[in-house]
Homo-oligomer: A and B are copies of this chain.
Amino acid sequence: MLLQAAANLNLDIHLLDPDPQAPCRALTPQFEVGSLTDEETVYAFGSRMDLITIEIENVNVRALERLEAEGKKVYPEPRVLRLIQDKRLQKQFYAEHNLPTAPFALIDHPSQLIKYTSWLPAYLKLGREGYDGKGVMRLSSPTDYARAFEAPSLIEQAAPVAKELAVIVARNAQGQTACYPAVEMVFDPQYNLVDYLLAPAQIDEATAAAAQALAVTVIEKLAMTGLLAVEMFLTLDGELWVNEVAPRTHNSGHSSIEGNVTSQFEQHLRAILNLPLGSTKTRSLAAMVNLIGAEGYQGTAYYQGLEEVLALEEVYLHLYGKTITKPGRKMGHITLTADSVEALQQKIAFIKKTLRVISQ
């Protein structure tokens, strides 16, 4: 999707990806296979570029710091990536800057957990290497401590969640910021991936304004260049707590392609190129459904029911070019627009009933 947006700006993009079958390779002749976590690979690739950006946080930061020190533009800045790669540093950053977040404590060894039994239910999060629900464990009772991570982690009180929100905010090198309206996420309990997303979130105006203000504060405190997805909890008391941030285009921003004036992908490019940021105005109420590989199917993907879904009004299909499906794999998404939440929900229900990603 970033390449689709980059084409409109005549950008000369080279890609580094560890997977020789990465879907992006179908969209560029300038594709290189290489490890994103190997310092020399990332450094050698970046040293041939003018500007380096990322689509995944798990990239070797030392290589990016060396490139930055040599005068390359690296956005988001490596120091931001270093902070965000470690959930412990991330939480400490919120605490230091008085950014509201769930109460937490650092855990260096599982034996320390017993001190926090009064916090249960709580979450235990690995400091590093967590991604898409991995590296997070729910602690319901002290018996769960036996399964606790051995590596440095943090315990976080379960927030009294009314809604989960996400706000995408951009900042360019001049310090201009532009913030999208908050979106509302509904999670699939089985895979802990976003199930569907409503944009904008169905929250009152004051909360919507507060969510945007909080996201702007976070990106300004980080002083980062690029796009930041700020995942938040709206608590039962009406407070907003920062959950996690991602310094890149994000699943929660996909509906911006059709739902907002400027897509998050173009906005990211505008931000890192230090161009004026685009309007984040809502064009239409929208929903986004992830297309996830069905349980029990592994192999060449087949999108059962796709024709019926494409016959719906205002349905935007985005397949990700992945050849192989497996249970829980994100294979694409569909954005829907409509005049009411009820109309969106009807279409979502139809899609969930009709469309399945199976193998041939």
Q: Which of A23-31, A63-71, A73-81, A202-210 contacts the other chain? A: A23-31
A9 within 8 A of B: yes
* C-alpha spacing A7/B310, complex, angstroms: 16
| Residue pair B319, A10 in contact (C-beta under 8 Å) | yes
State A14–B12 Cα separation when bound (angstroms).
20
Cα distance A311–B25 in the bound complex, in angstroms? 32
In the assembled complex, the CB of A311 is this many whole angstroms from the nearest CB of chain B, namely 4
Once the chains bind, are B26 and A26 in contact (CB under 8 Å)? no
Secondary structure at chain A's binding surface: helix, strand, loop or mixed? loop
- Segment of A49-57, A116-124, A212-220, A276-284 in the binding face: A276-284
Given contacts A26-B30, A27-B27, A276-B307, 15 further A-B contacts (CB under 8 A): A3-B7, A7-B26, A8-B318, A28-B29, A29-B29, A261-B313, A261-B314, A261-B337, A270-B310, A275-B310, A276-B311, A278-B310, A279-B313, A281-B313, A283-B283
23 residue pairs of the A-B complex, CB under 8 angstroms, read A3-B27, A4-B4, A4-B7, A7-B26, A7-B27, A8-B318, A8-B319, A9-B317, A10-B320, A10-B321, A26-B29, A26-B30, A27-B27, A27-B28, A28-B28, A28-B29, A261-B314, A276-B307, A276-B311, A278-B310, A279-B314, A281-B313, A281-B314
